[in-house]
């Protein structure tokens, strides 16, 4: 959760803008709500290196902020972000060149990528004090590189940098879903936490201070937002610590209405997608801000299992019900999306949520009110979204009991299936284990260490078919139980 500079500032980004945005996030209620990263996207660097291959930083764009600092040093802005008790993010490309998309026109900047300098650049980012790095794919695509290969090398370079500086550097993979990253990004290079973009940009940047024919006509529509959501649905690849990234948010930006903001916030929250807000934080309306900081929506987003929703039914064309299993037994987050031009009276079929019988509790997230569980009909205005949490009884699962061995032929033959995995990991560190399915999907689970006789639990959505969970000789890891729920 945090802010990213690209959507609203594109390549005009500089120290002053970043300071203003960081200050806004720290004081407008977002920081308290959990937004913590301030990410500087493309445009911070113009592609020049010194004789030793070190990145040369423009002193005017990134001046000293405090007495005693040197202009042209990115540690100035990282220190400023840290002084607000926030985390700092930076950006590069996996290939030789970056994207260099100066809004609409302007020079194409070559050599703004990190290829050939992975160790040098990621160590530099970490030494400057950055906690997060987004690695784009414009250069990688141009050179027709393999994403799985490059990002594994990057993950290893990041691990070496972390070992040197002792600072965690979070990897954000941005190859727009071009090489099916949901198959290889979870656990790439044995990395524990990462996110991968699943599609292109919701829209090109909308920089309010720029005026030209092309730029002035940019308005965000519900189609832009819904297409990004749909492109990002890979629930079988998403596990605690590994997330499909639906793109930076455009909430409150040009063209967005309050209803469209609700659709955007509701879908990103129920998907546990990164909430990297790309809007100008100094211009957010109270309505947008209250959506971004809505506690119950954020609780759905931050559910420990971090799963994506599954479309359970479309009672009439354009009206869709999405449900996401949550860590608390029998709890579902439910989004009812009305993409039609008319208000919809939606009758929820509880059985379709994979629950036994009618719900015991029903909560409307936007209003923060309990709803009558006896009445399953909800009214959703045209082009709007209702967000609910539903508490009911979980159906009886199929149980796979094991100790020390792999689990093979896990049955999920009725479609995407919710499962809970209990394990013990006494290795002292997170272990990444592969999961392979007959559907062709291979993914990875990160299993954090457990203490003593405690068990850890993760949630997963198994793909249609049968799956094998392979421990591949992990000595200190034992699967205790796998519960597979009929949906």
Report the C-alpha gap between 169 and 163 in whole angstroms: 10
Nearer to ligand GLA, 228 or 474 (CB): 228
Binding positions for ligand GLA, 346-375, rule CB under 6 A? none
- Is residue 58 part of the annotated active site? The answer reads no
- Is residue 136 part of the annotated active site? The answer reads yes
Reported in sequence order, the residue ranges of 117-249 that DSSP labels E, i.e. its strands, are 132-136, 170-173, 194-197, 242-245
Supply the minimum distance, in Å, between the C-beta of residue 463 and ligand GLA.
27
Residue 6 in the binding site for ligand GLA (CB under 6 A): yes
Q: 442 — phi, psi (to 5°)?
A: -125, 140
Catalytic residue among 41, 136, 261, 384: 136
Residue with tokens 């720029």: 210
Residue 245 in the binding site for ligand GLA (CB under 6 A): no
Report the C-alpha gap between 317 and 283 in whole angstroms: 36
Supply the minimum distance, in Å, between the C-beta of residue 246 and ligand GLA.
12
Q: What is the DSSP string of 268-284?
A: HHHTT---EE-S-GGG-
- The C-alpha torsion from 471 through 477 and 483 to 484, rounded to 10°, is -20
Q: Which of 36, 41, 115, 394 binds ligand GLA (CB under 6 A)?
A: 41
Nearer to ligand GLA, 123 or 174 (CB): 174
Nearer to ligand GLA, 142 or 311 (CB): 142
Report the C-alpha gap between 474 and 454 in whole angstroms: 18
Nearer to ligand GLA, 106 or 415 (CB): 106
Nearer to ligand GLA, 99 or 195 (CB): 99
Nearer to ligand GLA, 13 or 22 (CB): 13
Counting other chains too, the contacts that 233-236 makes at CB distance below 8 Å and 24 or more residues apart are 233/198, 233/271, 233/308, 234/182, 234/198, 234/308, 235/307, 235/308, 235/309, 235/310, 235/416, 235/461, 236/182, 236/416, 236/437, 236/439, 236/441, 236/443, 236/460, 236/461, 236/462, 236/463
Residue 251 in the binding site for ligand GLA (CB under 6 A): no
Supply the minimum distance, in Å, between the C-beta of residue 191 and ligand GLA.
20
Residue 174 in the binding site for ligand GLA (CB under 6 A): yes
Supply the minimum distance, in Å, between the C-beta of residue 2 and ligand GLA.
14
SS3 state of residue 415: coil
Residue nearest to ligand GLA (CB): 99
Residue 201 in the binding site for ligand GLA (CB under 6 A): yes
Residue 40 in the binding site for ligand GLA (CB under 6 A): no
Nearer to ligand GLA, 6 or 37 (CB): 6
Supply the minimum distance, in Å, between the C-beta of residue 71 and ligand GLA.
24
Residue 394 in the binding site for ligand GLA (CB under 6 A): no
Instruction: Using the Cα atoms of residue 391, residue 394, residue 400 and residue 406 in order, give the sign of their dihedral.
Output: negative
Write down how long the chain is.
Answer: 487
Site string for ligand GLA, 117-136 (x = CB under 6 A): -------------------x
Residue 175 in the binding site for ligand GLA (CB under 6 A): no
Reported in sequence order, the residue ranges of 193-318 that DSSP labels E, i.e. its strands, are 194-197, 242-245, 276-277, 310-316
User: Both tokens of residue 275?
Assistant: 């909430």
Supply the minimum distance, in Å, between the C-beta of residue 42 and ligand GLA.
4
Environment class of 252 (CB within 10 Å of its CB; exposed 0-12, middle 13-18, buried 19+): buried
Catalytic residue among 121, 131, 201, 280: 201
Q: Which of 9, 13, 14, 42 binds ligand GLA (CB under 6 A)?
A: 42
Report the C-alpha gap between 387 and 298 in whole angstroms: 12
Binding positions for ligand GLA, 52-111, rule CB under 6 A? 99, 101
DSSP state letter for 178: T
Nearer to ligand GLA, 58 or 406 (CB): 58
What are the residues whose beta carbons fall under 8 Å from the beta carbon of 451, sequence distance 6 or more? Answer: none
Residue 192 in the binding site for ligand GLA (CB under 6 A): no
Q: How many CB atoms are closer than 10 A to CB 283?
A: 12
Residue 478 in the binding site for ligand GLA (CB under 6 A): no
Catalytically active residues, by annotation: 136, 201
Query: Which residues contribute to the site for ligand GLA (CB under 6 A)?
Result: 6, 41-42, 99, 101, 136, 174, 176, 201
């Amino acid at each position: 959760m945090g802010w990213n500079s690209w959507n609203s500032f594109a390549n005009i980004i500089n120290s002053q803008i970043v300071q203003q945005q960081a200050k806004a996030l720290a004081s407008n209620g977002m920081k308290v709500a959990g937004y913590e990263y301030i990410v500087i996207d493309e445009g911070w660097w113009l592609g020049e290196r010194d004789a030793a291959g070190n990145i040369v930083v423009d002193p005017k764009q990134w001046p000293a902020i405090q007495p005693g600092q040197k202009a042209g040093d990115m540690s100035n802005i990282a220190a400023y972000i840290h002084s607000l008790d926030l985390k700092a993010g930076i950006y590069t490309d996996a290939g030789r060149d970056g994207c260099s998309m100066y809004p609409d026109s302007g020079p194409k900047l070559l050599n703004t990528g990190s290829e050939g300098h992975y160790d040098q650049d990621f160590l530099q980012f970490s030494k400057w004090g950055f906690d997060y790095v987004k690695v784009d794919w414009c250069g990688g695509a141009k050179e027709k590189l393999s994403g799985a290969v490059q990002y594994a090398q990057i993950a290893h370079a990041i691990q070496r940098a972390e070992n040197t500086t002792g600072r965690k550097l979070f990897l954000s993979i941005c190859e727009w879903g071009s090489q099916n990253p949901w198959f290889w990004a979870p656990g790439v290079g044995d990395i524990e936490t990462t996110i991968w973009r699943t599609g292109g940009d919701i829209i090109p940047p909308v920089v309010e201070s720029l005026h030209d024919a092309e730029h002035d006509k940019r308005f965000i529509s519900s189609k832009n937002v819904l297409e990004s959501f749909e492109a990002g649905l890979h629930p079988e690849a998403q596990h605690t610590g590994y997330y499909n990234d639906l793109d930076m948010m455009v909430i409150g930006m040009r063209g967005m209405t309050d209803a469209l903001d609700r659709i955007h916030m509701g879908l990103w929250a129920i998907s546990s997608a990164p909430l990297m807000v790309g809007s100008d934080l100094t211009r957010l309306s109270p309505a947008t801000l209250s959506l971004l900081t809505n506690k119950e929506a954020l609780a759905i987003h931050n559910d420990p299992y971090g799963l994506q929703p599954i479309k359970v039914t479309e009672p009439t064309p354009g009206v869709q019900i999405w449900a996401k299993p949550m860590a608390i037994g029998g709890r579902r987050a439910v989004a009812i999306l009305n993409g039609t031009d008319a208000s919809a009276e939606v009758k929820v079929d509880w059985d379709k949520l994979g629950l036994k019988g009618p719900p015991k509790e029903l909560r409307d997230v936007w209003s923060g009110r309990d709803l009558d569980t006896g009445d399953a009909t909800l009214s959703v205005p045209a082009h709007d979204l209702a967000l609910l949490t539903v508490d009911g009884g979980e159906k009886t699962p199929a149980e796979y009991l094991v100790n020390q061995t792999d689990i093979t032929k896990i049955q999920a033959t009725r479609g995407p299936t919710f499962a809970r995995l209990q394990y013990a990991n006494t290795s002292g560190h997170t272990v990444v284990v592969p999961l392979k399915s007959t559907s062709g999907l291979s993914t990875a689970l990160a299993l954090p260490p457990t203490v003593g006789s405690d068990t850890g639990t993760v949630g997963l959505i198994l793909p249609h078919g049968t799956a094998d969970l392979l421990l591949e000789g992990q000595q200190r890891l034992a699967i205790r139980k796998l519960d597979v729920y009929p949906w």
